[in-house]
Structure 1
Amino acid sequence: MSSHTRDEVIVVGGGVIGLTTAVVLAERGRRVRVWTRDPLERTTSAVAGALWWPYRIEPIKAARGWALRSLDVYEELAGRPGETGVRLVEGVMGDTGPDETGSWTAGRLEGLRAATPEEYGGPVGLWARLPLVDMSTHLPWLRDRLGAAGGEVEERTVSALAEADAPVVVNCTGLGARELVPDASVRPVRGQLVVVENPGIHTWIVSKDAAGGIAHVFPHPGRLVLGGTSEEDAWSRSPDPAVAEAIVRRCAALRPEVAGARVLEHRVGLRPVRDAVRLEREPLPGGRVLVHNYGHGGAGVTVAWGCAEEAARLAASS
């Protein structure tokens, strides 16, 4: 096998995990192709509200390490928000106190404090300044950065990972890994969002109501993303009007201005949840290598760069 051939990598999956992994590999000198079933704007990642915070991901200790590494990158990218889609935005993490984060942020997050009653009406909330990522800008930016490093994205439906014939294959298929690996432990947790015109809200908020319903309000350029839901093992990608009404109602209880905002769009995404992220190297016949990087739940954006660098290390010895 020539050295030229050994440099080839196929990344299967074109969401934020796949694209970020491809960027890291390409910028380390690999010849990278991304195979994606869906165009960027139709991936699960495109639906994400995309606040940096570990959510629905295990093992939490490893995830926090990946998240903090990703935070380093997002803070740098936030210097060019119009280009990268990343901004540092203040807001309230409801039902969370400063003492609940200190064990893992280790002073890494500046300005953490208890939210005031005016900022959050619940018993306890955490005021924080966190990366908020506009995926409609960030995903194309990742694709362009990959292209600048010599990589390319190809829309291609894969029915088996064996179709990828490169010396190194990286499996970033998310929920698709359920069939492609196959790995029945990967399952969907459905999230529904309502996108509305922004009536002038500049801070984000995440909370739960007394019945355990999720509410979050994320201000993105030109719009406000309202959520959400967390429905276990639900496969429907069709928005439910009754669920949408409930989302708006919960968010309006937190931010009354939301109540009359004009609805722009309804979105549904299926989070690829697993008991633990699978990030490991699997030797294949003939000296080829398969690196798995999937099962990130609702935290794909949060851990993308940390996981990408680890996946690249696993691929490096090939």
Structure 2
Amino acid sequence: MISDSGSEVIVVGGGVIGMSTALELARRGRPVRVWSRDLAERTTSAVAGGLWWPYRIDPTAKVGAWSLTSLRRYEEWAARPEETGVRLVDGVHGDSRIDGLGAWAGEVAGLRDTPEGLAARLPLIDMPAHLAWLRDRLAEAGVAVEPRTVASFDEAFEAAPTVVNCTGLASRELVPDDSVRPVRGQLVIAENPGIDTWFTAADPASAATTYFLPQPGRLLLGGTAQEDAWSLEPDPATAEEIVKRCAAVRPELADVRILEHRVGLRPSRPAVRIEREERGAGRTLVHNYGHGGAGVTVAWGCAEEAAELAAAG
């Protein structure tokens, strides 16, 4: 239950970053509301593949700790997969080796080099199910999620003295911060022919990635990492290439039945911004955005840091 101590906080943004931050604030006894332009199932978070792994994200000095904080929670929630949407699943990063990772890798149980790549048993999160579970956790904590589109943070300051910005790509205009850029990701959703392990391979120099992720009732095939691409329309030629790349790893995917196509725009930035900004007259704006394609991976570490900044001073 939320206590009456402390002034109200408005969290702007209802994806996984916004919901995790709101839950952390509620845990600290702050009255919280979430304003979200979209329902959780229509946010970028809902399109995410859901594999825990620090992927194309900075600052490296903080990413490890943020990621491990999230990992510990996912490991706990994986004991209740039907409820939380979180499972621990075996797989291989085909382009990685342990010696290329940071010190955080020593805290991840079971990582091992194999001829196929870096083998691991990692959290794989069914994002639509997990987002619905988080929304239920917010309701239990007394946190309202209100449909609301803001043109300025001043609108939120009219309702509360502390505002947390978790708007992802929309921060480009709202802050404004022109270092925030979209990285377009396209997925193919297919019937699963019996694959129960995940695979990834991502060349940092290429906009094409290769991965397949077994989620309940479906298999996610990817993908792309197209910088500064804003289109949300699936491209048929890109989808065909995705299937071909995945079939080169698992030939049974060559004739897989396609269920649907999805596109999401990752909110990329040279480094994640978690920062407290005083906006005058007792107004505090805390930023928590720029997580790119690793929002699920760092969500809870970032949420804890943002919540601490919101409570400071």
Per the TM superposition, whether the score is higher than 0.5 is yes
Are the counterparts in 2 of residues 69 and 306 from structure 1 also a CA contact under 8 Å? yes
In the alignment, the residues of structure 1 paired with residue 241 and residue 148 of structure 2 have an alpha-carbon distance, to the nearest angstrom, of 37
Structure-to-structure mapping, 1:51-130, within 5 angstroms? 51-101=51-101, 103-106=103-106, 108-116=107-115, 120=116, 125-130=117-122
Question: What amino acid is aligned across from residue 291 of structure 2 in structure 1?
Answer: H
TM-score under structure 1 length normalisation: 0.93
CA deviation digits over 1:230-286, x for unaligned, max 9? 101000000000000000110011111212221111000001110111101011222
In the alignment, the residues of structure 1 paired with residue 58 and residue 102 of structure 2 have an alpha-carbon distance, to the nearest angstrom, of 19
Q: Does 1:225 align with 2:217?
A: no
Are the counterparts in 2 of residues 24 and 312 from structure 1 also a CA contact under 8 Å? yes
In the alignment, the residues of structure 2 paired with residue 200 and residue 273 of structure 1 have an alpha-carbon distance, to the nearest angstrom, of 34
Q: CA deviation at 1:167?
A: 1.6
Q: For residue 142 of structure 2, give the secondary structure of its aligned residue in structure 1.
A: coil
Q: Which residue of 1 aligns with 2:167?
A: 173
Q: Which residue of 2 aligns with 1:185?
A: 179
Q: Which residue of 2 aligns with 1:12?
A: 12
Q: CA deviation at 1:147?
A: 0.9
Q: CA deviation at 1:174?
A: 0.3
Question: What amino acid is aligned across from residue 223 of structure 1 in structure 2?
Answer: R
Are the counterparts in 2 of residues 167 and 288 from structure 1 also a CA contact under 8 Å? yes
Q: Which runs of 5+ in 1 are unaligned?
A: none
Q: Which moved more, 1:42-51 or 1:5-14?
A: 5-14
Question: What amino acid is aligned across from residue 113 of structure 1 in structure 2?
Answer: R
Q: CA deviation at 1:115?
A: 2.4
> CA 1:170–1:208 in 2, change beyond 3 Å: closer, same or farther?
closer
Structure-to-structure mapping, 1:274-289, within 5 angstroms? 274-289=269-284
Question: What amino acid is aligned across from residue 145 of structure 1 in structure 2?
Answer: R
In the alignment, the residues of structure 2 paired with residue 145 and residue 237 of structure 1 have an alpha-carbon distance, to the nearest angstrom, of 30
Q: CA deviation at 1:26?
A: 1.1
Structure-to-structure mapping, 1:263-278, within 5 angstroms? 263-278=258-273
CA deviation digits over 1:160-185, x for unaligned, max 9? 11110212100000000000011111
Are the counterparts in 2 of residues 5 and 167 from structure 1 also a CA contact under 8 Å? no
In the alignment, the residues of structure 1 paired with residue 175 and residue 105 of structure 2 have an alpha-carbon distance, to the nearest angstrom, of 34
CA deviation digits over 1:210-241, x for unaligned, max 9? x9431000000000000000101000000000
Q: For residue 131 of structure 1, give the secondary structure of its aligned residue in structure 2.
A: strand
Q: Which of residues 284, 287, 294 is equivalent to 2:289?
A: 294
Q: CA deviation at 1:58?
A: 1.0
Q: For residue 266 of structure 1, give the secondary structure of its aligned residue in structure 2.
A: strand
Question: What amino acid is aligned across from residue 80 of structure 1 in structure 2?
Answer: R
In the alignment, the residues of structure 1 paired with residue 154 and residue 144 of structure 2 have an alpha-carbon distance, to the nearest angstrom, of 20
Q: Which residue of 1 aligns with 2:150?
A: 158
Q: Which residue of 1 aligns with 2:192?
A: 198
> CA 1:102–1:300 in 2, change beyond 3 Å: closer, same or farther?
closer
Question: What amino acid is aligned across from residue 21 of structure 1 in structure 2?
Answer: T
How large is the RMSD of aligned CA atoms in angstroms? 1.6
Q: Which residue of 1 aligns with 2:256?
A: 261
In the alignment, the residues of structure 1 paired with residue 165 and residue 103 of structure 2 have an alpha-carbon distance, to the nearest angstrom, of 32
Q: CA deviation at 1:4?
A: 4.7
Q: CA deviation at 1:296?
A: 0.4
* Percent of aligned pairs with the same amino acid: 66
Q: For residue 171 of structure 2, give the secondary structure of its aligned residue in structure 1.
A: helix
Q: Which residue of 2 aligns with 1:21?
A: 21
Q: CA deviation at 1:6?
A: 3.9
Q: Does 1:237 align with 2:227?
A: no
Question: What amino acid is aligned across from residue 62 of structure 1 in structure 2?
Answer: K
Question: What amino acid is aligned across from residue 25 of structure 1 in structure 2?
Answer: L
In the alignment, the residues of structure 1 paired with residue 295 and residue 182 of structure 2 have an alpha-carbon distance, to the nearest angstrom, of 14
In the alignment, the residues of structure 1 paired with residue 292 and residue 198 of structure 2 have an alpha-carbon distance, to the nearest angstrom, of 21
Q: Which moved more, 1:252-261 or 1:308-317?
A: 252-261
Q: CA deviation at 1:63?
A: 1.1
Q: CA deviation at 1:97?
A: 1.2
Are the counterparts in 2 of residues 7 and 29 from structure 1 also a CA contact under 8 Å? no
Q: How many residues align?
A: 308
Question: What amino acid is aligned across from residue 281 of structure 1 in structure 2?
Answer: R
Q: CA deviation at 1:101?
A: 2.9
